[in-house]
């Protein structure tokens, strides 16, 4: 067997039993799939989504695995694969939800398993953009343009309710 055959082309990192539902994690995973590691880390750092934090830590772990275990440079790494699978459906965290007539129902606290693979080459098939993958950041000019187009909503107070109260009070006192 040659040395080229045993050399790995990607480094993996696994996150098991994440206490976040798979749908919430998939939304963030779809947004960073196929991007460079630098770009993905920036997106995850400034995304206002709760599910971004565990994925950021997992991506940093995958980059560290690539550097230490596979002698890859962290500069030119890309996210080649990212999968989010459902974990056990509430077998570990059991919560009761009170129902009518003294009954109770179990809440399903979902868990997730996530796998990230990073490699030095871009993925061959670029992932298509999904509609739920909207954690991208707006640029400063986009925010300024949006602020200029939206008009501030000021609610004018009407005097009609006061008159009704005054007339009702006047009628009661007479």
Mean per-residue pLDDT of the chain: 81
The secondary structure of the chain in percent helix, strand, coil, rounded to multiples of 5, reads 40, 20, 40
Instruction: Please determine, for residue 164, whether its predicted confidence score (pLDDT) is greater than 80.
Output: no
Q: Give the residue from 115, 35, 169 showing the smallest Cα distance to 44.
A: 35
The number of helix segments (H) and strand segments (E) in the chain equals: 6, 5
d(CA 156, CA 132): 37
Structural domains in the chain, CATH included, are: 9-124 (3.90.470.10)
**What pLDDT, in 10s, does the model give residues 101-137?**
999 998 888 899 999 999 998 887 776 666 655 565 5
pLDDT, greater one: 111 or 89: 111
Dihedral of alpha carbons 167, 168, 171, 174, sign: negative
Q: CA triplet 139, 143, 149: central angle to 5 degrees?
A: 145
């Amino acid at each position: 067997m040659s040395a080229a055959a045993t050399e790995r082309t990607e480094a993996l990192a696994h996150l098991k039993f994440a206490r976040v539902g798979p749908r919430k994690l998939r939304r963030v995973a779809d947004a960073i799939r196929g991007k460079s590691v630098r770009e993905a880390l920036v997106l995850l750092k400034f995304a206002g989504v709760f599910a971004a934090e565990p994925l950021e830590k997992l991506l940093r772990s995958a980059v560290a695995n690539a550097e230490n275990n596979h002698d890859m440079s962290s500069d030119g790494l890309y996210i080649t694969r990212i999968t989010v699978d459902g974990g056990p459906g509430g077998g570990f965290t059991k919560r009761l939800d009170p129902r009518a007539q003294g009954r109770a129902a179990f809440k399903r606290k979902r868990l997730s398993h996530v796998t990230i693979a990073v490699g030095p080459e871009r993925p061959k098939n670029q992932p298509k953009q999904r509609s739920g993958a909207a954690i991208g950041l707006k640029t400063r000019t986009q925010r300024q343009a949006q602020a200029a187009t939206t008009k501030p909503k000021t609610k004018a107070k009407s005097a009609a309710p006061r008159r009704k109260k005054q007339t009702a009070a006047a009628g009661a006192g007479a």
